[in-house]
Amino acid sequence: MWNEPTQNQLNQLPKLYETEETPLKDKRISMHFFLHGCDWYAAEFDGQDLFFGYVILNGDRDMAEWGYFSLRELKQLKDRLGLEVDRDLHWRPMPASQIPGVKVYD
């Protein structure tokens, strides 16, 4: 993984279920990871490996969904040319409703 987040950066995300009562549109997306047409938006983190957030795979916004994804698995992903998942260093935390393509079920 390129630009892997530090443990200190990960510790700043809300813990899993900490924002459970927050409407999806208001969930703060703290980190964005990407590779080609895939995007992983992290809202919560369990402190070790598991994120809760929004995932768009292969640009397919119709099948994109809220759910859990693994930091360990993101670190292992590579395309056939060896490109790895990258963390968006220009990302600024924002509510999910402000991210184009993220479904917030309003």
pTM above 0.85, yes or no: yes
The tens digit of pLDDT for each residue in 30-86 reads 999 999 999 999 999 999 999 999 999 999 999 999 999 999 999 999 999 999 999
With a cut of 70, say whether residue 106 has pLDDT above it.
Answer: no
Positive or negative, the Cα torsion across 90, 95, 101, 103? positive
